[in-house]
Each structure stands twice: as C-alpha cells, then as structure tokens.
A and B are shown apart, each in its own frame.
Chain A
Amino acid sequence: MNILSIAILTAALLLIVTGLYMLVRTHNMIRIIIAVEVAMKAITLLLAYAGWLNGQTALSQAFVVTIIVMEVVVAVVAAGLAISSFRKNGDLDIRRLNKLNG
C-alpha cells in the first residue's frame, strides 16, 4: 500500500505549481505574498512527512515549528513593504515598481 506517499508527493507538487503560477501571473503584492505562503505549506507538509517516515518525528516537529516562526516574520516584513509601497504609490501593482531596469 503506497497510496499515501504518492498522494503526499503529488499534493506537494500541485501546491508548489499553484504557488509559482500565482507568483508569475499576479501583479498584486499581497497576492504575491499569499503565493509564497502556499508554496511554503507544501514544504511544511514534506518535512513533517519526512520525519514521520524515518521515525524522527520530534526532530521534524522542531524543524516545522522553526519554519513557522520564520514564515510569519517574513510575511510581516513583506506586508510592511507592500503597505509602504501603497502609501507611496496608492496601489499594490508590482508593475508600477519598474523604474529599475536593464
């Protein structure tokens, strides 16, 4: 019975594809942050599954807890940048921010 490993790997791939697709297709800064979060969920899932497989559940839990703390700080900083940009430009469109090119 190997349904579970196939299901988890497939789900992780689909989540990452969704995240990357969102990242490429959206111009809204907050949506970009949501896209990053979607991809990070897949990573959390894989790490927890890895710990479950090799019997190191305690270690993988330590990893997952640390990742969650990192994730929330990155989300706060990203939201802060988005809000600063909104105060500057009046919208969240990333295409407005293309003064730097070349």
Chain B
Amino acid sequence: MTTFVIVLCLVLMVGFALSAAMLRSMLKSAVSLAAMSAALAVILYMMGAVWAALFELSVCVGLITVVFISAISLTTPDRRDEAHTKDHRQRFAALPFILIAAGVALIAVLVSTGFYLPQPGEEAVAEAAFNQVLWQTRQADILGQILILLAGAFAVVVLFKEGRKI
C-alpha cells in the first residue's frame, strides 16, 4: 500500500514538473510547482517524516507559491512577453522524449546491474524523537536558520524597500 501511494505520487511529481516546464503561462507553472510540493508532502508523510511533510505543505505549497505569484503579478503586465512565449512550446518539445530516454536508461542500468538497496525496516534502528534530534544535535543548523532569516530580512530591505523611492 505504502509503495503504491509513493509510486503514484512520484508519477504525479514528474508530471507536474513537466507541466511546470512546458506550460506557457507562468502562473500555471507556479501552480504546477505547488502541486509538485503537495505530492512530495504526501511522500514525506508516507515515509514517516511528519514534521517535514508539514513544513513542505505550509512553506513550499503556501509561502513559496505566494512569493512566485506576487513576483509574477508585479512583473507580467508586459505585452512583449507574448512573442517570447510563442516559441515556448517549441523549445520544450524535446523535453518529454529526453525524460523518457533518461528514465529508461537509468532503469535499464539499475536492473541490469542488480542494483539493491536495503528496504526500510530491514535494519531496525531506535526511533529518536524529531524534536530531540533537532534541538540537541543540530544546534549549528538552528543558528544557521536564524542567520539566513536575518539575511533574508536585510535582502528584502535592500531589494524592495529602497526601490519604492524611485
């Protein structure tokens, strides 16, 4: 059952990635990306990574999509873009074939070499609580998250706030 759901979501992810690349409308591309994130969140949940799934759902599906949609709406009232999008489908026409070729090639290599990874559950490891691991062993990363949010705040000040004066 788990395998079936995960494989289904993987197919969805690749499908949405393809539509993000090939759709002419940028807004639809951004929505495809959000749908991809949602499929990934389901996979994370099935793998037992509940917190990661929650973050993926709230931040990537929610926040990043908002960022993209505001960026697109701030930049697209531009007629010249239409001429640009006309050859869009042409430029991406080869992509599905490349993907099929790459997928078949990798599967052929993996199957022919007898590729094998241990299945989950084969090695029983004591399950540590996510909170404990995050706060007790990843302090450097937490400090890093604080710093990157600071950097992001300064970036917004530099890139957005001063621009309005002009």
Q: Which residues of A contact B (CB under 8 A)?
A: 1-11, 13-15, 17-19, 21-22, 25-28, 30-31, 33-35, 37-38, 41, 44-45, 48-49, 51-62, 64-66, 68-73, 75-77, 79-84, 86-87, 90-93
Contact = CB atoms under 8 A, between A and B. Distances in A.
B29 A31 contact: yes
Contact of A48 (B49, B72, B107, B148): B49
A58 B44 contact: no
Majority secondary structure of chain B interface residues (helix, strand, loop or mixed): helix
6 contacts: A9-B110, A27-B84, A44-B56, A62-B130, A86-B74, A93-B84
A37 B33 contact: yes
A69 B148 contact: yes
A5 B115 contact: yes
Interface in B84-99: 84, 91-92, 95, 98-99
Nearest to A33: B68
Nearest to B94: A21
Contacts of B11: 11
Contact of B64 (A6, A37, A62): A37
B145 A72 contact: no
